[in-house]
Amino acid sequence: MSQTSAETIYLKDYTPFGWTVEEVHLTFALHPTKTRVKSRIRFVPNPDVPPQEFFLHGENLTLISAAIDGATIPPKITPKGLTADVPVGPFVWESEVEISPETNTALEGLYMSNGMYCTQCEAEGFRKITYYPDRPDVMSTFTVRVEGSEPVLLSNGNKGDAGTGFAEWHDPWPKPAYLFALVAGDLVNHPDNFKTQSGRDVELNIWVRKGDEDKCAFGMQALKASMTWDEEVYGREYDLDIFNIVAVDDFNMGAMENKGLNIFNSSCVLASPETSTDDNFERIEAIIAHEYFHNWTGNRITCRDWFQLCLKEGLTVYRDSQFTSDLRSAPVKRISDVIDLRGRQFREDGGPLAHPVRPESFVEINNFYTATVYEKGAEVIGMLKRLVGDEDYYKALDLYFTRHDGDAATIEDWLNVFEEVTGRNLKRFKRWYSSAGTPRLTVTDKFKDGRYTLTFKQETPPTPGQPQKKPRVIPIAVGLLGPNGDEVQPTTLLEMTKRQQSFSFEGLASKPVASILRDFSAPVVLEHERSNAERAFLLAHDTDPFNKWEAGQALRRASLIASVTTGAAPDTAFLDAVVRVARDDSLDPAFRALVLQPIGQDDLAATLHAQGHTPDPQAIYDASETMAQSLAQELADSLPRLYADTTVDGPFVPDATGAGKRALNGRILYMLTRMDGGAQARAQFKTADNMTLKLAALNALLGQDTGTDEAENFFQLWKGDRLVMDKWFAAQVALAKPEKAADVAEALTAHPLFTPKNPNRFRAVFGALTMNHAGFHHSSGRGYALLADWLIKLDALNPQTTARMCTAFQTFARYDDTRRSLAKAQLTRILSTNDLSRDTTEMVTRILE
């Protein structure tokens, strides 16, 4: 596809489809290069819609035959589908097409992965399977017959007839085509069952390749926990007789919520202590929950059009974060989510790819499965819940589920249920959905005659297409601490609605220390000038775990910024405060690990840029290294004792308690390796019986530019395991010194186990390169050039993953002239590639604008 054929789609142009679809019958005769798909679809004119031309989407299909009411017709084929003359009343459409799953390297539609057939239809993949009105507001029941020699033949819904070489499936719940799925292969299952709250029995299966059956137990346990949680917290019950999960090695995203047949990237479901880290376990649990929760928020209630994507994604991310908070530690989950939000969403919101949570236009919808739609979309729901309170939140959700069950809904529908339940007017609040950019909230305070006043100002910088911003409703959770560290005002929610607003607290004996934006009550950048003494005081005394951590971050950030801009040594106030936290055994080890975690170098570059500096990646790297070294030295005496305390007795259990201790182990070991030449890390690498400890040891060594033997040993141990090999590829690039990162990545692309066809492997190498901030942005331009070389190669195979990886360049304008022109040259080179995909064209064009 060339640039000129790319067409922009606008939210304002939405029109309903002219027909309803009453029933879909599909028959698949599977073959690697010649799969035949027959469809029989009953269309009924929609009386509410003015007559329109009959158009069905279809891409890369070979039409064999088409008929209306049994009579063969010659439809008019276009590059994007077909049109046909149809009767005025209801009619039955039949067609047969041929497709080639084996050569489908885009991994969209029906494709093959290691000899197994599978599908990915969201957002617009179904049109690569057959001719159909491939839009989320067209919903129908599906009956599917799969014919093939594979032992396992799966589709959505409940089981129908089955015999040698075929299986039939019926899904009684009307659904849009993006939720269709089919899987066929030589798979084995990990079976279980679940009784719903109303007493219905549900068969559960996780289907995997032979050899992976010992990695399913954790995922199954997470699934059952999710089913129970959704019943208890949201009153939502599962609605089919069977729920299948399938693990697939080649997958563009994390997982997909197809009705009754969730398909997962194998990295997001397979788990064992020997091969998976605590982070992997937690992520798998969250993604299993996420996809399961979509059964109600996404499937039973879907989106009217793709502009409403946050309706299902923001809400489902919000729900899975509640689930993780309930099962594990709420403060740790909140802090981790905010680190992720700042690292990915603030980054997006502050650059050329910024877009509203509900975008108003797109060229390729796959480019809008973003941190803004997902994570900021979830933050917006969190704010809504804070503003209306828990009770009204769940009342509104109940109304949403009863009123919109079976609907393809909009953000307006969603906000309406809240307005009805609470009597609030949410017009202003709605700006969170329509306005892009991260608000900056500045605060000043005053104390006089027992009265403490906080004055807030909000301002959102311009974003593409939105030069001016209106003020937003910002929930600001505030608590006050007295001079001895006692809380004199527990958490109160201030509701800011204007550009500038003051709030007062009366009757205070002395000037308090304010803890502002507790629990990160809104996704904003808080600008609060205060002394390091005050920050250290909050780190020691704040009762809000998020702000306690945030105080440490503020100290660390200020110190690093000073080092980068003035060459100052690491701040002693910071070092002292952090040493105290690290040694404080009364604090949760997971929390201490988070306080010890370095601030991302990209995040620091963003802060410097926002403060008017041109960030120098090498200087940021050097300052971060110096800071880490100083911290290790300050703590040197305690490190052996702290290290010993992180030992977890007994067999590996991937729960929050064990994971917290091991997270702290990783931090301590990293520091210890700076002090002891790697002796402890080598010992841990040898004796570790789980991947968390083993990888922590390998990382600690690689981080000190050593560990070659261990890396080789790790390779020999795990070269047969795809998912562990991804970790091996990634670690070497992620931890390489800036001047070596591109060379290490390039050398790995020549490794026999490297292939751009597997998105996980491609991301292992290049995701790691782009996250090695000083390495990717090295002044030689080698990082930029290498990534561009491979993006150009990958685009011909897999546009979706290519376009996503282009986001590495989205911050290029922050840097100095040399880097800017080097990056620009690579982006221009990508854009000038012949037959560049629509996906990548849109991304690169937006980045360059």
SS3 category, 109: strand
Residue 842 interacting with ligand ARG (CB under 6 A): no
Interface with ligand ARG (CB under 6 A), residue from 291, 542, 726, 746: 291
Distance of CA 638 to CAs 139, 458, 641, Å? 62, 43, 5
Interface with ligand ARG (CB under 6 A), residue from 21, 253, 383, 517: 253
Q: 3-state DSSP: the chain helix, strand, coil percent, rounded to 5?
A: 45, 20, 30
Residue 249 interacting with ligand ARG (CB under 6 A): no
Total residues binding ligand ARG (CB under 6 A)? 14
From the CB of 287, what's the least distance to Zn ion, in Å?
A: 9
From the CB of 93, what's the least distance to Zn ion, in Å?
A: 31
Residue 285 interacting with ligand ARG (CB under 6 A): no
Residue 602 site contact among ligand ARG, Zn ion, none (CB < 5 to 8 Å, cut-off depends on kind): none
What does 258-285 look like in DSSP terms, one character per residue? -TTEEEEEGGGT---TTT--HHHHHHHH
Give bridge partners of residue 263 from the DSSP assignment.
246, 256
Residue 375 interacting with ligand ARG (CB under 6 A): no
552 contacts: CB under 8 Å, gap ≥ 6: 535, 539, 574, 577, 578, 581, 595
Residue 366 site contact among ligand ARG, Zn ion, none (CB < 5 to 8 Å, cut-off depends on kind): ligand ARG
For residue 46, which amino acid is it? Answer: N
Interface with ligand ARG (CB under 6 A), residue from 122, 134, 379, 842: 122
Residue 313 interacting with ligand ARG (CB under 6 A): yes
**Closer CB to ligand ARG, residue 179 or residue 417?**
179
Residue 320 interacting with ligand ARG (CB under 6 A): no
**Closer CB to ligand ARG, residue 313 or residue 375?**
313
Distance of CA 383 to CAs 301, 312, 520, 564, 777, Å? 22, 17, 10, 35, 36
From the CB of 721, what's the least distance to Zn ion, in Å?
A: 27
110 contacts: CB under 8 Å, gap ≥ 6: 35, 99, 101, 104, 117, 118, 119, 128, 129, 182
Interface with ligand ARG (CB under 6 A), residue from 20, 113, 244, 252: 252
Distance of CA 2 to CAs 5, 834, 841, 846, Å? 6, 8, 8, 16
**Closer CB to Zn ion, residue 226 or residue 840?**
226
**Which residue in the list 122, 257, 285, 291 is annotated as catalytic?**
291
The answer to whether 782 and 743 have CB atoms below 8 angstroms apart is: yes
Does residue 391 carry a catalytic annotation? no
**Closer CB to ligand ARG, residue 292 or residue 685?**
292
Residue 247 interacting with ligand ARG (CB under 6 A): no
Long-range contacts: 751-757, Cβ < 8 Å, 24+? Answer: 753/719, 753/725, 753/729, 754/729, 756/790, 756/793, 756/794, 756/797, 756/798, 757/105, 757/250, 757/797, 757/798
Residue 519 interacting with ligand ARG (CB under 6 A): no
Residue 41 interacting with ligand ARG (CB under 6 A): no
**Closer CB to ligand ARG, residue 373 or residue 663?**
373
**Closer CB to ligand ARG, residue 206 or residue 478?**
206
- Segment interacting with ligand ARG, rule: CB under 6 A, options 180-188, 255-263, 377-385, 608-616: 255-263
From the CB of 219, what's the least distance to Zn ion, in Å?
A: 17
Residue 123 interacting with ligand ARG (CB under 6 A): yes
756: nearest Cα among 722, 807, 790, 804 = 790
From the CB of 362, what's the least distance to ligand ARG, in Å?
A: 12
Residue 803 interacting with ligand ARG (CB under 6 A): no
Interface with ligand ARG (CB under 6 A), residue from 56, 223, 242, 256: 256
d(CA 136, CA 303): 6
From the CB of 360, what's the least distance to ligand ARG, in Å?
A: 19
Residue 124 site contact among ligand ARG, Zn ion, none (CB < 5 to 8 Å, cut-off depends on kind): none
Residue 804 site contact among ligand ARG, Zn ion, none (CB < 5 to 8 Å, cut-off depends on kind): none
Give the binding site for Zn ion (CB under 5 A): 313, 316
**Closer CB to ligand ARG, residue 311 or residue 742?**
311
Residue 437 CB neighbour total at 10 angstroms: 20
**Closer CB to ligand ARG, residue 123 or residue 513?**
123
- Phi then psi for 152, rounded to 5 degrees? -120, 125
The answer to whether 806 and 844 have CB atoms below 8 angstroms apart is: yes
Long-range contacts: 549-556, Cβ < 8 Å, 24+? Answer: 549/331, 549/335, 549/591, 549/594, 549/595, 550/517, 550/520, 552/577, 552/578, 552/581, 552/595, 553/599, 554/528, 556/598, 556/599, 556/627
The arrangement of strands across the sheet holding 474-481 comes to 487-496, 474-481, 513-516
Residue position matching structure tokens 């308090």: 512
Residue 253 site contact among ligand ARG, Zn ion, none (CB < 5 to 8 Å, cut-off depends on kind): ligand ARG
Interface with ligand ARG (CB under 6 A), residue from 14, 91, 194, 369: 369
42: Cα within 13 Å, side-chain hemisphere: 8
From the CB of 184, what's the least distance to ligand ARG, in Å?
A: 20
From the CB of 238, what's the least distance to ligand ARG, in Å?
A: 17
**Closer CB to ligand ARG, residue 314 or residue 545?**
314
d(CA 143, CA 4): 39
Measured over all CA atoms, what is the biggest interatomic distance in the chain, rounded to whole angstroms? Answer: 89
Residue 299 interacting with ligand ARG (CB under 6 A): no
Residue 139 interacting with ligand ARG (CB under 6 A): no
SS3 category, 250: coil
**Closer CB to ligand ARG, residue 126 or residue 229?**
126
Residues contributing to the site for ligand ARG (CB under 6 A)? 120, 122-123, 252-253, 255-257, 290-291, 313, 366, 369, 800
Active-site residues, by number, are 291
